[in-house]
Amino acid sequence: MEPKTIQLFDKKSVLGIDSGGNYTDIFREKAFIVWYTHGRPGLGDVIANLDMPEGFPIPAYTTLRAWRLADKWDERADEMDKKVRDEVEQRLVSEKAIMQAKHAEIGRKVYEKGITALEEIGIKTTNQALRAIELGIGLENDATNLEKLLSAVAKMEDPKIVAKTAQLLSKVKLKNEPDD
């Protein structure tokens, strides 16, 4: 004798239709997710991508439009997009700081090789050794200063970043900028 299977939910309620024939909040959320993950397409595209089982009622365009307004899909998507941008920016800043740390390490090694070459070669043929020292110091300084700046900026809040950027830009004249 086979054990009886007890069905706790009927298929319609699990898929998003309650006992009164209305769509559930779970289904409304599914519609939002389809809309958002497909790049905020027109509602006709949402209907086409809802993947409704055969025999289940497909929500009307006007129903989806009402949900979009009532559930504030656009505002919610804007907030989610901002979080994505913030996360990507933070990751880029971190990657840039790591790259700058590597450049500083390379600059230090070039500097050390220049010093070693200078000690081994002596004073007679020092041009390449001195150039390596100069290059190494420059690379290390540039990378270390930029690394420190990027790390500091990554920890700042938006208004502080804007103020710091304005301060730095006021001190630096771009190479391609014409003289006044």
Q: What is the per-residue pLDDT across 27-68, written as a single tens digit (0 to 9) for each?
A: 889 899 999 999 999 999 998 888 776 777 888 899 999 999
Spatial distance between the Cα atoms of 60 and 43, rounded to a whole number of angstroms:
9
Q: Are 17 and 56 in contact (CB under 8 A)?
A: yes
Question: pTM for this structure?
Answer: 0.52
**Matching residue, tokens 């319609």:** 12
Q: How many Cα neighbours within 13 Å face the side chain of 140?
A: 14
Spatial distance between the Cα atoms of 113 and 107, rounded to a whole number of angstroms:
10
Q: Which two tokens stand for residue 38?
A: 């497909």
Segment 157-168 mean pLDDT: 60
Render the burial of 124-139: b for 16+ CB within 10 Å, e for the rest.
eeeeebeebbeebeeb
